[in-house]
Amino acid sequence: MNFGWKVISGYFIGYLLVYFLTHWTWDILMLLKQRGKAHYPYPKSQNFFGIICFCLSTISFWIFLVIIPIRSIVLKADTYTSLIFLDGTYLWARFLGMVLMSFGLIVGVLGRWARGFYQADNILKLQTRLGFAFTRHPNYFQYICGFLGLPFLSLHLGTILISIFGIYGYYIFAREEERSLLLEFGDAYRKYQDKVGMFFPKICKINSSNLQLISYTSSKRKGKVTTVTV
């Protein structure tokens, strides 16, 4: 497949459409619904640099996704200049960027749906379904995948700065948000933290039961049973 400017421009436009159609519909429904017990914490970070990174990276990310494709379509030319990768590798870089951004978008959509169901239930409880079963911050994960994938997909040097500052800003806000959630849900959220990663899944937790079973079986064969905590 030739990942030329037409393909990349079409992908960016498709990304925007999927995001807004899946997010705005839930946002409108949640606004129309009368507020009840269900609510989400809105952290107030004291880290001024983190706030700047969070806001500017988010705005820059969406401006880039809107302006660059439109510019390419109007000029009918490739405005995605390869300033990062060698000519022989940029096709693979674009493919990797598309995979990262698409995966992040899927998890983000599942997270927004879970948030919508949470609001519809109108019960104060810890949401761990859909996107929240994969990561504790599915919507932040979407942006992080976007920040990581954008330099590969656009091949533009300036997007690296968006990635660096964006990941830092979203980490700061995720950390502040978790402090509010710990105050709200206590031990339930601590157990959730132990099972699900902040941004990425905890593979070691998935395999812990298997490790315990292997250890138990091996010890039993030797004539003794040893309890192992993983």
Residues 20-73 have pLDDT tens digits of 888 777 666 666 665 555 555 555 667 788 889 999 999 999 988 888 888 878
CATH of 5-199, one of 3.40.50.970, 1.20.120.1630, 3.50.50.60, 3.40.190.10: 1.20.120.1630
Give me the pLDDT at residue 102, please. 94
pTM: 0.76
Residue 151 has pLDDT above 60, yes or no: yes
Domain boundaries, the chain: 5-199, 203-230
Q: What is the phi-psi region of residue 186: left when phi exceeds 0, alpha when psi lies from -120 to 50, beta otherwise?
A: left
- Residue 190, Cβ density class (10 Å: 0-12 exposed, 13-18 middle, ≥19 buried): exposed
Output the 3-class SS for 48-107.
Answer: HHHHHHHHHHHHHHHHHHHHHHHHHHHHCCCCCCCCCCCCCCHHHHHHHHHHHHHHHHHH
Burial of 150-173, coded b for 16+ CB within 10 Å and e otherwise, reads bbbbbbbeebeebbebbbbbbbbb
Checking if the pLDDT of 5 tops 50, the result is yes
pLDDT of 141 over the 90 cut: yes
Amino acid at 97: G
Are 155 and 94 in contact, with CB atoms under 8 Å apart? yes
Three-state secondary structure call for residue 173: helix
Q: What is the pLDDT of residue 210?
A: 34
Which one is predicted more confidently, 219 or 148? 148
Mean pLDDT over each residue of the chain, to the nearest integer: 75
